[in-house]
Structure 1
Amino acid sequence: MASVKLLAVAGSAVLLTMNAAGAADLPLAPPPVPVVQEFSGWYLRGDIGFSNQQVKSLNNALYQVPPNQTVTTVHKDFDAAPFFGLGFGYQFNSWFRADVIGEYRGKANFHGYDNILLNGNYYNDTYTASKSEWLVMANAYIDLGTWWCVTPFVGAGIGASYNQISNFMDHGMHNVGGPNVGLAYAADAGKWNFAWALHAGLAYKVTPGFTIELAYRYLNLGDAASGDLITYTGVNSVYNPMEFNDITSHDLKVGMRWMLSAPEPVYQPPLMRKG
């Protein structure tokens, strides 16, 4: 009887050994499947923001009347103004994208103030206007890496800006103790200019298909000019629009990007091996 038990135990040991040997020939459990994110694709974008604009210099034909007149510009300031834009673009890979945008930049009120020395007498001259733009621009961006869904980026753009001056009014030269003289107004006028921009900002990926941006943009809009200045009496001895030379803007904006098809993960095939 004892020999039968020994045979049973020996048989069980042999079976366990054979099962272990067979298991060694089976494929191991596949390792975790790596996921490769697909970054490319078309997207739509929208932007809203506020401008902070400057003009380098002003010029008018009546400024150039030596030696009897000297004009010194004291103020040439724009108020902040809103803008909004729409566009579309393409994400080429994880670090490069490009887009084309169209933008309307709302009316920014302008306030100017000159000191004038004319025939030995001192005057001051104030004038007001509004300025708006239509902007079309192609932009390219480099994404600098992503941390906790936040991606810093830089970029540059080129395009064209239609700069319009409206409601220009020269409130006249005022001599202390005397009446205002030379009140004048100008018709609305606009012109196209080459424009360029530099960008920097942060993008936050809310979902795989939706991203929000907070960005700064330096924008050069070129030049602008009012219509011909005409006095209230209808007198116009010389063609003399007010010229706005080298208009720039420091813009702060919020942007939104929607992928037209959300990026889909691409799965690597599992690694199969024996032994």
Structure 2
Amino acid sequence: MFVQRLRILTAAGVALIAATGARAADYTPPPPPPVYVQPPPAEPCCDSWYLRGFVGAGRNTTGSVDVTAVADTSLVSSSIGDSYFVGAAVGYNWNSWLRFDLSGEYRAKTQLTAMTRFQDAGGGAVALDQYQGNLSSWVVLANAFVDLGTWNCWTPFVGAGIGGAYNMVSDFTDVTPDVSAFGATGSSFGLGKGTSSWSLAWALYAGVSYAVTKNFNIDLTYRYLNYGTAKDSIVCDNPGAGCVDLQYKNLHSNDIMLGLRWTCCDMGPPPARPPQEVYAPPPVYAPPPQVYTPPPAYQPPLRSRG
């Protein structure tokens, strides 16, 4: 009898353990903790482009003046006045030390003068001609600059440029004060046609920049500018009295420039954003296969022989 009760209790314990396992198989584990992922930084907007404006003054020089005339003519003297200019440029910072820009400027009117000496074909009569006019120019240059390092916001740089100059001659006059040697009285007078023409232009730069802010710089620059040739033709009231074509060749200027440079649209580092929560999907729980265990075979209790 005791053995039979023991077997019943054992079978009940096995059933309870199986029920507990089945109930545990139905339990869904909690989801894993969230994973925090920092969003990628936003791309900065055109932080390498800049605008540059500048003003300056130049000491102009001419290399030579060519004069052509009916009579034998030689140049006595020539000069060109100093000028001021104003311009602007748009540029691109290729990297931290190399930048490129395209500049355009207007060089205000400055005075051209010349004096020539000529004599008639027989070699007797001699007269002096006095020429005077104005020169203004448009200059367009493609420039490259190399920054040489920064110390306490100061950055020295060098550069070079090449392009074209549109030189405009206006109000040119030719006066011969005394034409008595040619059998006339008084003076001879001629007017220029007012000629404009394109010439090759090139420049060399050296300067220093001061960073007022991250986006704003002040540039102080020396520039050597060669801007080609200016020419005009004189229409005289007396064609035999020295009507000439003049060419001011190899025009060049030593310029001092003050510029302001602004880096446009510089967004800087993107603002900090709260991290985004990304939840991994919970794993799919697969319960283990249930194995059926048959109950033990019934055995009759042992009887005592007493």
TM-score, structure 1 length as denominator? 0.72
Task: Provide closer, same or farther for how the CA distance between residues 111 and 195 of structure 1 changes in structure 2, counting only shifts above 3 A.
Answer: same
**Of residues 129, 141, 149 in structure 2, which corresponds to 1:145?**
149
Aligned counterpart, 1:163: 167
1:134-176 CA-partner distances (Å, limit 9, x unpaired): 1111000011111121111110001011011111111215479
Root mean square deviation, CA, Å: 2.8
| Mapped partners of 1:58, 1:141: distance in 2 | 33
Alpha-carbon deviations, 1:244-269, whole Å to 9, x = none? Answer: 11111111111110000237369xxx
Asked whether 1:80 is paired with 2:59, we answer no
Q: Distance in 2 between matches of 1:106 and 1:236?
A: 34
Residue in 2 that maps onto 1:231:
236
> Which residue in the other structure is 2:158 paired with?
154
Give the 3 Å change call, closer, same or farther, for CA 198–116 of structure 1 in structure 2: same
Partner of 2:301: none
Which residue of the partner structure matches residue 60 of structure 2?
A: 53
Q: Quick one: distance in 1 between partners of 2:103 and 2:214?
A: 22
Deviation at 1:242, TM superposition (A): 1.6
Q: Which has the larger radius of gyration?
A: 2
Residue matched to 2:103:
101
Q: What is the DSSP-based 3-state SS (H/G/I as helix, E as strand, rest coil) of the residue aligned with 1:183?
A: strand
What letter corresponds to residue 230 of structure 2 in structure 1? Answer: A
Judge conservation of contact 2:141–2:164 (CA < 8 Å) in 1: yes
CA distance in 2, matches of 1:199, 1:174: 47
SS of the residue corresponding to residue 150 of structure 2 reads coil
Q: Residue 200 of structure 1: CA displacement?
A: 0.6
Q: 1:175 to 1:97 in 2, by over 3 A?
A: same
1:190 aligns with 196
Note the C-alpha offset of 1:72: 3.3
The 2-side partners of 1:236 and 1:50 are apart by 40
Higher strand proportion (structure 1 or 2): 1
Q: Does 1:205 align with 2:208?
A: no
Residues matched between the structures, number: 222
Equivalent in the alignment of 2:222: 216
Distance 2:146 2:237 in 1: 54
Shift in CA distance, 205/176, structure 1 to aligned 2, threshold 3 Å: farther
Cα pair 1:209 1:263 within 8 Å, conserved: no
- 1:192–1:184 distance in 2 versus 1, CA, 3 Å: same
Task: Tell me if 1:41 matches 2:48.
Answer: yes
Could you tell me which amino acid in structure 1 is paired with residue 89 of structure 2?
Answer: G
2:255 maps to which residue?
A: 251
Q: Report if the CA contact (8 A) 1:71-1:117 is conserved.
A: no
Change (3 A) 1:138 1:180: farther
Q: Distance in 1 between matches of 2:154 and 2:196?
A: 40
Given that 1:208 and 1:263 are in contact with CA atoms closer than 8 Å, whether structure 2 keeps it comes out as: no
- Out of 121, 124, 133, which is 1:129 matched to? 133
Aligned partners of 2:237, 2:118: CA distance in 1, in Å? 21
Q: How much identity, in percent, do the aligned residues show?
A: 35
Q: Which runs of no fewer than 5 residues in structure 1 stay unpaired?
A: 1-38, 267-275
Q: Using a 3 Å threshold, how does the CA distance of structure 1 residues 213 and 263 change in structure 2: closer, same or farther?
A: farther
Cα distance, 1:224 vs structure 2: 1.5
Q: Which runs of 5+ in 2 are unaligned?
A: 1-45, 271-306
**How much does 1:181 deviate?**
3.9
